[in-house]
Amino acid sequence: MISNEAVERACSEVSEYSEDQMATEFERFFTRQPDICDFVVELTTESDQRIQELSLFLSYMVFKAVESEYAPGLSAISQSMIESALQESESWIEKINQADGGEMESAILDRLSTDNEPYLLQYVISEINQPLDDGTELDDEQKGEVFFVLKTVITSLSRRSIEEEGTEQTP
């Protein structure tokens, strides 16, 4: 599990980046995780540009937190890993959607408390509930879209980091 400290450390570090450093970091992210980036772009291609940019930025932040907690040399996520994570995310969302209106918040909190990556999910929820740089806020449908994309990214990256950590510890 990615710790809250790793999420805070990534946020703090990124907040100090210059525009050039941020561009370099995004290039590194695109080079190291091309299938993740392609997935995010493909899933948000028909969305508002702000949704795509936010999804890519949050994906980078998740990558940064996972990388700092587990493995600076984190291997690239494959398309098949993303597809598996996508199915898992669909199932996760479906279970939440089965809750009745008043129980929705309770269902989300319950799913968060049992999820493998609660701190990353809390970070994403916090960010999508903040006003965008232009002062506008996402509507519920847009928030749901970004959350779904990021839930899949989180599952993909955290699963890979766990696999690699287990491999490193095996004699």
pLDDT in tens, 95-146: 777 765 555 555 566 666 667 888 999 999 999 999 988 899 999 889 989 9
pLDDT band of residue 74 (cuts 50, 70, 90) is confident
CB 150 within 8 A of CB 55: yes
How far apart CA 53 and CA 59 sit, in angstroms, is 10
CB 4 within 8 A of CB 119: yes
pTM: 0.86
Q: What is the Cα Rg of the chain in Å?
A: 16
State the residue range of the domain holding 81: 4-169
Length of the chain: 171
pLDDT band of residue 171 (cuts 50, 70, 90) is very low
Give the C-alpha distances (Å, rounded to integers) separating 121 from 8, 36, 101, 136, 140: 13, 17, 21, 22, 16
How many folded domains does the chain comprise?
Answer: 1
